[in-house]
Structure 1
Amino acid sequence: MAATVFIDGAVGTTGLEIADRLAGRSEFILVTLDEARRKDTAARREALNAADFAILCLPDDAAREAVALIDPASKVRVIDASSAHRVAEAWTFGFPELVGRETVALAARVSNPGCYSTGFIALVAPLVRAGLLPADWPYTCNAVSGYSGGGKSLIARFEDDTDIAWRGYALGMGHKHVPEMRERSGLTRDPLFSPAVIPAYRGMVVEVPLPLSAMAAGTPDALRQSLADFFADSPVVRMGAEPDGELLLRQSRAPSDAMDLHVFASADGSQVRLVAVLDNLGKGASGAAVQSLNLMAGLDETAGLRLP
C-alpha cells in the first residue's frame, strides 16, 4: 500500500525538487494543498496529522510551528529540511552513512543535514572517529555554493544582477550550520567557517585544509584510506577520482544526489586539502531528504535518486 507524503512548503526550491524525485513513484502518494489553502493553519494541521510522512521545507521558525501542529498521537513521521532541529534532542540526524541506516529507518523525527555541513561532516567526522584527526583542533572550512541554496530571494538577486561574481557572507561568523558541523563531527570547538555563493545555479565545493605537520594527525594515505573504508558500502558518498592539477565545478553541472570526496596532499605529505563536491540541492538538501524517506518507508535508499 502506498504511503502518503505531505510536503509543507512544497512551492520552495527544496520542496519542488523533492516532489520531482517522488513523481511517478508508486510507493508514495503526494498530499497537496491548493494555493488558497497551503498557508491555512487548519488545512496544514489536517494534512500534517493525516499523512504517513511529512517533509518540512520551511524557514526554521515555521518548521517549529509545523511540528507544534502535530498531535502527539499522530502516526506521522517527520523529516525537517530546516536547521531548526539538527542538534535537538529526540531528533535523528538524517545522514544515514554517519548515524546508521537502521537508525534513520526507525526514526519518527529526522532532521535533514545542512548542505555545507554535509560536506564538512563527511570529511571530518570519520577521521575524528578513527583517531586520525584530533577533536580539539581549530578547523577551518572554506566553501562555495550555487545560489539556489539561498531560496527565492537570492535566486532572484543573482538572476537579476548578473554582475555578481562572488558573494561572501556570514562575515560575523555564527553561520547556522556551525553547531551541527561541530556536534556531528565530534569536535570540541567551533570550526571557522567561510561560506560564499557563486553565479552557478547548483553545485557546491566544501574544503577543509589541514597542516598535518603541525597536527597530531594521520598521513595523507591513511586519511584517504579511512574515508574510503568508512563509505565503502555507500552508493551515494564516494571517493572521487583524483584529477590532474585542477578540480572544476561547472555551471552546466547536471543534478546529482551523489557526493564525491577527495584528499589532496603536498609532495612531502605535510599539508592536505580535504574536499567534498556535491549538489547543494541533492545530497545537500532534497536528495538527502528522499534518501531518508526511502529508508523510513522500508525501501532501497537510492530509489528515485539521481546517481550518475
Structure 2
Amino acid sequence: MDGQEGTTGLKLLDYLTRFSSIEILKIDPAKRKDPKEREKLLNDADLAFLCLPDSAAKESISLVKNDKTKLINASSLFRTDKNWAYGLPELKHQRERIKSSSRISVPGCHATGFILSVRPLIESGVLQKDYPASCYSISGYTGAGKSGIDEYEHADSASITKLQVPRPYSLLHKHKHLPEMAMFSGLEYEPLFTPIKANYPQGLAMTVPLTGRSMAKKASAKTVHEILAAYYESERFVQVMPYDSEAYLEDGHFLIGEGMNTNRLEIFVFGQDDHITIVSRYDNLGKGASGAAIQNMNLMLGFDEASGLIL
C-alpha cells in the first residue's frame, strides 16, 4: 500500500487485517518517500492500493515496471480515463469490467451517491441526458483527509465558532468529482453541485432534487422509487429503502449518521407528485472510499465480493 498514513490508507489497513490469506507489504516510515524502496514494494506486490494525492499517485504508477501488479487508485486521477475501470460495480456491466481489469479507479465519495441515484433514471429514459441536474452533499470532516481532521479535532479558540456550523465549499463549481459525476451518471453536462462540510467525523448524505414535469417522461416520486428499486434489487451493498417512509425520519429530520462503519449505501425517495427528492446515505470512509476499494479488490482477486466488509 502506497500512502498508508492517510485517512483512506489507515481505514484500508483496518479492512485488510480481516484477511488471513493476504500478506500486507508495508514501507518503512523512514523510507516512504524513497523512490527506490517504493518501486521495489510496488513491483513485489500482486495488488497495490494507491492512497495518495494525484501527483504522487501518478509518480507511483510510473514506478510499476511489470504487467503483474494490479493497481487500485483512490485518488481522482484517471477516474474518467477509459484505460482505467471505474470502480462502481453496481452500474450495469461494470462488475464484469472490474473483474477483468488490472487498473481500477475508486469513485469519489460525493460522486458515488449522485451516480447511483441518477444513472438508472437515465438508462430507463425517464430522465433526459441534458437535464439540468443539481445536487448537494453534506459530509463529515474525515472526507477532507488528515488536514481536515486536524482542522476540526485540533481547532484553536479562534476557529471553534466557525467550525460549529456546516460550511458549503467549492462554490466556484470546480470540484474534482464533477467530471466523473457527469460521465458515469450518463448526463451530458456536469451537475450544479454544492458540497457541505460539517462538524462530525463520518457520514454522507447526497441529495438530488428532481422535478417530474421537467423530465423526459413525466414522472412522480413513486415512479422514480420503482425504477431505482428494480435497478438495485439484487445488489448487496446498495439498498433502496421503502418509499417516502417517515419511519426513517426522526421528528421529520433525516438521520445522516446511520450505517456508519459499513459498506452499505441506502437510497431514499421522498416527495409528492412531481416534487422528488432522492437522498443516498453512506459512510464516506466506507462505500465512499476504503470500503469501495476493498469491494473492488475482492472482484479483481476472485474473492467473494463481501469479504472483509460489513453489510
Question: Where do residues 239-250 of structure 1 align in structure 2 (5 Å cutoff)?
Answer: 239-241=240-242, 242-244=245-247, 245-250=252-257
Partner of 1:151: 145
1:69 is displaced (CA, Å) by: 1.0
Identity of matched residues, % = 40
1:27 is displaced (CA, Å) by: 2.5
Partner of 2:73: 80
Question: Where do residues 253-292 of structure 1 align in structure 2 (5 Å cutoff)?
Answer: 254-266=260-272, 269-292=273-296
Partner of 1:121: 115
Partner of 2:133: 139
Give me the TM-score of the superposition, normalised by structure 2.
0.92
1:253 is displaced (CA, Å) by: 6.2
What are the Cα deviations for residues 130-166 of structure 1, in whole angstroms up to 9, with x where unaligned? Answer: 1111110110011101000101111111113343111
**8 Å Cα contact 1:223-1:263 kept in structure 2:** yes
Partner of 2:35: 41
Distance 1:185 1:58, change over 3 A: same
| Number of residue pairs matched by the alignment | 297
What are the Cα deviations for residues 39-79 of structure 1, in whole angstroms up to 9, with x where unaligned? Answer: 211011111111000110000111111111111x3300000
1-structure distance, mates of 2:98, 2:215: 34
Question: Where do residues 76-225 of structure 1 align in structure 2 (5 Å cutoff)?
Answer: 76-98=69-91, 99-161=93-155, 162-163=160-161, 164=163, 165-217=165-217, 218-225=219-226
**8 Å Cα contact 1:147-1:158 kept in structure 2:** yes
**8 Å Cα contact 2:260-2:282 kept in structure 1:** no
**8 Å Cα contact 1:49-1:74 kept in structure 2:** no
* Structure 1 vs Structure 2 CA RMSD: 1.3
Give me the TM-score of the superposition, normalised by structure 1.
0.93
Partner of 1:3: none
Distance 1:188 1:24, change over 3 A: closer
Helix, strand or coil at the partner of 1:196: strand
Which of 18, 24, 31 aligns to 1:30? It is: 24
Letter in 2 for 1:238: Q
2-structure distance, mates of 1:120, 1:101: 18
Partner of 1:4: none
Helix, strand or coil at the partner of 2:24: strand
Distance 1:253 1:186, change over 3 A: closer
Which of 1, 4, 15 aligns to 1:10? It is: 4
2-structure distance, mates of 1:253, 1:143: 17
Distance 1:64 1:9, change over 3 A: same
1-structure distance, mates of 2:30, 2:116: 41
1:213 is displaced (CA, Å) by: 2.1
**8 Å Cα contact 1:182-1:190 kept in structure 2:** yes
2-structure distance, mates of 1:49, 1:74: 9
**8 Å Cα contact 2:115-2:184 kept in structure 1:** yes
Partner of 2:54: 60
Letter in 2 for 1:286: S
**8 Å Cα contact 2:126-2:215 kept in structure 1:** no
Letter in 2 for 1:189: Y
1:232 is displaced (CA, Å) by: 1.2
